């Protein structure tokens, strides 16, 4: 869906040039939420702005929707590309003098005349993002979370296939962040979107991303499934970012490495884990020693356990049948 191949970008600086991207290669699968994480100045924004050609790369190729290199598209094709890619920003980028509905219609007005059906679509989007009744309000009358909801509705007006999010929750409090991330997740599923989300916060990655790329000084230093990266971060920066959210199962597991059958369990629904464990304890006469749990409402639960008993193999099989994923080979 989106592929970066040896992509580099240099900005001219006052004294020396800035290598914002350095030979970046990785791809983003369709219909996933792919996080781009890294410290300030790592090149995250430059990277996603290349996807819709708000920024042009100097070297390498970027394929989007099967176009081999988006840099080589002519003006009209670039316009078409941008229409299929929605974008939201940390600072919302709303027009203060325009109402919620007019902000949402703005990308259409910029290209053509607005019809009645466009007004209806805008109202439907306002409802979808949870702002019914707010259509005639102005941005100054809205909270940060509400402004980002307008940003999301505006990004959807052209029915895009890709949604780019540049630090969409960095200006929001933790609870509002959760609600916006949950909205992005819902919209992604309902519309079959591919979402690329830039953040410096591993909480955001853990909360909604399927896959993640870690950027450091313009390089993509680690790419993989979020579970893998959380459980076994390899690069020093990834380790630091994971450590910052107090999540280092490797460290925790190493304290217990002498215990038998050390296993990480990932539960499909956090609120069912106790029932699953107690059922299996009874059926197979095994005991679970829970050493660490990282479980919160509305996210998948992770648990480090040591198992003892005679029928461990059968108990593991039963766990898998209940939808529990075992991540034991990574410790
Ligand atoms: N238009 C520009 N002109 C000159 N330098 C730029 C420009 N845009 C970005 N840079 C530089 O390129 C590097 C990467 O910037 P970028 O904005 O992509 O980083 P980032 O990871 O998004 O950082 P942040 O987390 O602070 O948003 C930085 O050193 C930045 O100063
Ligand atoms: Mg940035």
CATH (domain of 154) = 3.40.50.300
- Closest C-alpha among 195, 193, 126 to residue 166: 195
C-beta separation of 173 from 96 below 8 A: no
Same domain, 80 and 195: yes
Task: Return the pLDDT at 107.
Answer: 95
Helix, strand, coil: what percent of the chain each, to 5?
A: 40, 25, 35
In which band, very low, low, confident or very high, does the pLDDT at 20 lie, cut at 50, 70 and 90?
very high
Task: Give the residue from 244, 259, 292 where a domain finishes.
Answer: 244
Q: What is the DSSP string of 144-161?
A: HHHHHHHHHHHHHTT--S
Best probe residue, ligand 1, of 12, 19, 20 (max atoms within 8 Å of C-beta): 20
What is the rounded average pLDDT of the residues 138-167? 97
Q: Is the pLDDT of residue 330 over 50?
A: no
CA angle 172, 173, 177 (to 5 degrees): 70
Q: Which residue is it, tokens 């307008």? A: 150
Q: When comparing pLDDT for 228 and 271, which is higher?
A: 228
Same domain, yes or no, for 107 and 136?
Answer: yes
Per-residue model confidence (pLDDT) at position 201? 92
150 and 128 within one domain: yes
Q: Residue 255 maps to which CATH number? A: 3.30.70.260
Is the shortest distance between the CB of 273 and ligand 1 below 6 Å? no
Mean pLDDT of the chain, nearest integer: 91
Is a pLDDT exceeding 60 seen at residue 185? yes
Instruction: Judge whether residue 269 has pLDDT over 80.
Output: no
Q: How confident is the model at residue 271 (pLDDT cuts 50, 70, 90)?
A: low
What is the CA(119)–ligand 1 centre distance, in A?
37
Positive or negative: CA dihedral 155, 143, 37, 202: negative
Is residue 37 within 8 Å of 200, Cβ to Cβ?
A: yes
Among the candidates 190, 213, 244, a domain finishes at 244
One domain, residues 77 and 138: yes
pLDDT value at residue 26? 98
Asked whether the beta carbons of 220 and 25 are under 8 A apart, the reply is yes
Q: What is the rounded radius of gyration, in angstroms, for the C-alpha atoms of the chain?
A: 23
- Ligand with smallest separation from the Cα of 165: 2
Q: Of the ligands numbered here, which is closest to the C-alpha atom of 39?
A: 1
Q: Per the structure, how many domains does the chain have?
A: 2
Report percent pLDDT > 90 for the chain: 69
Substitution site in 16, 42, 220 for ligand 1 pocket (most atoms within 8 Å of beta carbon) = 42
> What is the pTM assigned to this prediction?
0.82
- Whether 167 and 263 map to the same domain: the answer is no
Rounded CA-CA distance 241/30 in Å is 26
Which protein residues have their CB within 5 A of the ion that is ligand 2? 45
8-state DSSP, 234: -
Contact 304, 205 (CB under 8 A): no
CB of residue 43 inside a 6 A radius of ligand 1: yes
Using alpha carbons, select from 55, 50, 43, 45 the residue that is nearest to residue 4: 50
Are 152 and 210 in a shared domain?
yes
Residues 199 and 322 in one domain: no
The answer to whether residues 47 and 164 belong to one domain is: yes
* Residues 33, 173 share a domain: yes
Nearest CA to ligand 1 atom 16: 43
Domain boundary among 192, 215, 244: 244
46 touches ligand 1 (CB under 6 Å):
yes
258 and 233 together in one domain: no
Q: Which structure tokens are listed for 325? A: 């994923």
Candidate from 17, 36, 39, 44 with most ligand 1 atoms within 8 A of CB, to mutate? 44
pLDDT at 110: 86
Instruction: Compute, in angstroms, the gap from residue 168 CA to the centroid of ligand 1.
Output: 17
- How far is residue 186's CA from residue 181's CA, in Å, rounded to a whole number? 9
What's residue 263's pLDDT? 86
Residue 164 and residue 298 share a domain = no
- CA–CA dist 268, 149 (Å, integer): 28
Same domain, 149 and 269: no
Least confident interval from 25-29, 244-248, 323-327: 244-248
Flag whether pLDDT at 142 surpasses 50.
Answer: yes
Ligand nearest to the CA of 216: 1
* Number of Cβ within a 10 Å radius of residue 108: 18
Give the Cα separation of 83 and 257 in Å (integer).
52
In order of 1, 199, 220, 237, the CA distances from 22 in angstroms are 21, 19, 8, 17
Domain that holds residue 76: 2-244
Q: What is the pLDDT of residues 273-307, one digit of tens each?
A: 777 888 888 899 899 998 887 665 555 667 888 99
């Amino acid at each position: 869906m989106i592929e970066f191949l040896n992509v580099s970008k240099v900005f001219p600086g006052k004294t020396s040039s800035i290598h914002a991207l350095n030979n970046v290669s990785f791809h983003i699968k369709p219909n996933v939420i792919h996080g781009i994480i890294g410290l300030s100045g790592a090149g995250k924004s430059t990277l996603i702005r290349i996807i819709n050609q708000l920024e042009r790369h100097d070297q390498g190729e970027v394929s989007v929707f099967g176009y081999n290199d988006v840099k080589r598209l002519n003006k009209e094709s670039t316009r078409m590309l941008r229409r299929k890619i929605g974008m939201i920003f940390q600072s919302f980028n709303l027009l203060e003098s325009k109402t919620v509905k007019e902000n949402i219609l703005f990308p259409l007005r910029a290209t053509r005349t607005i019809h009645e059906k466009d007004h209806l679509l805008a109202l439907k989007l306002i409802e979808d993002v949870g702002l019914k009744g707010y259509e005639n309000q102005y941005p100054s009358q809205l909270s940060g979370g509400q402004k980002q909801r307008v940003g999301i509705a505006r990004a959807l007006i052209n029915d895009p296939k890709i949604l780019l999010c540049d630090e969409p929750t960095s200006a929001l409090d933790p609870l509002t962040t959760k609600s916006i991330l949950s909205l992005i997740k819902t919209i992604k599923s309902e519309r079959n979107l591919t979402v690329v989300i830039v953040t410096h916060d591993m909480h955001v990655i853990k909360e909604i991303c399927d896959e993640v790329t870690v950027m450091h000084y313009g390089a993509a230093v680690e790419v993989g499934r979020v579970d893998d990266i959380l459980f076994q971060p390899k690069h020093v920066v990834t380790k630091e970012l994971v450590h910052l959210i107090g999540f280092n199962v490797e460290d925790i597991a190493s304290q217990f490495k002498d215990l038998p059958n050390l296993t990480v369990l990932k539960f499909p629904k956090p609120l069912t884990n106790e029932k699953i464990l107690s059922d299996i304890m009874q059926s197979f006469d095994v005991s679970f020693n829970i050493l660490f749990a990282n479980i919160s409402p509305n996210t998948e639960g992770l648990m480090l356990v040591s198992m003892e008993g005679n029928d461990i193999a059968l108990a593991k099989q039963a766990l898998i049948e209940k939808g529990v994923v075992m991540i034991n080979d990574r410790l």
